[in-house]
Every structure is written in C-alpha cells, then in structure tokens.
Amino acid sequence: MRFILSLITWYHAETLGTRLFTRFRGQKVGEDDQGNRYYRNADDTKRWVLYADEPVASKVPAEWHGWLHRTFKDTPQDDPLPHKAWEKPHLDNLSGTDDAYLPAGSMRRANPVERADYEAWQP
C-alpha cells in the first residue's frame, strides 16, 4: 500500500522519483535511532533523508538536521555532538494531535477552567 501511495502522492512516503534517484545516485551515509536513513550524492551537492515512516521534518534529530543543512561537515556518526546531562531526548511535534499540550483555559479541553482574570469583549 505504501508503494502505491508513493506513486500518486508525496506526503505518505518518498516519491518514485526520489526512490529511483536514491537507488542510482545516492550514497548512504548513516541512519538515526528512529530508522531515518540519510543520503548524499557523489559530489556532496545534495543531501536528503528517507523517513522510516511518516515524512515529518520534526522527526529529524538536531545533529542530523545540522548535517542536512551543512551546518556540520561530518555526519553525527563520524563526529558525534557532545550531549549534556540536562538535555532531553528528541520528541515528536505533537501539535494537532490528541496528545498536544492544552493549557488550562483551552477550549479543546474536556473541562476548560473558568478564567476570572479575563472578560470577553462584547460589541
């Protein structure tokens, strides 16, 4: 099913063109802990990622994002970034999902909190 969707849409997986370009011109340079695979062409003028499942840019860890955008010359596997003890592991962007953060006064909450510090404007 994923293959059929990639023939007609770009938002389910890589397109057929990207898949063929990767197969014939891509050189795999690494993979992150989420299963995303990173490629470049022979003269390193193009760099790209093939996502493990949903193609969402927030699933690319910071160190690989830096390599993709040429902030770092070497891949995180060749020259890993030092991590501090206080840094949290990468999380997906949950905006627009049922797990998104909803503040106390949000209308999307099941029981929104009544706010005494705000009065709605009435024309």
| Across 48-74, average pLDDT | 89
The fraction of the chain above a pLDDT of 70, given in percent, is 89
Q: What is the residue-averaged pLDDT of the chain?
A: 84
User: pTM here?
Assistant: 0.69
Q: What is the pLDDT of residue 31?
A: 94
Least confident of 7-11, 19-23, 47-51, 109-113: 7-11
CA 39 to chain centre: 16
Q: Is 31 exposed, middle or buried (0-12, 13-18, 19+ CB in 10 A)?
A: middle
- Is 33 in a helix, a strand, or coil? coil
Which range is least confidently modeled, 3-7, 39-43, 52-56, 99-103?
3-7
Measured CA to CA, the distance from residue 15 to residue 30 in angstroms comes to: 20
Q: Is the pLDDT of residue 24 over 90?
A: yes
User: In the chain, what are the domain boundaries?
Assistant: 2-68
Structure tokens at 66: 């830096």
- The two beta strands, 27-31 and 47-50, are unpaired
pLDDT greater than 90 at residue 36: yes
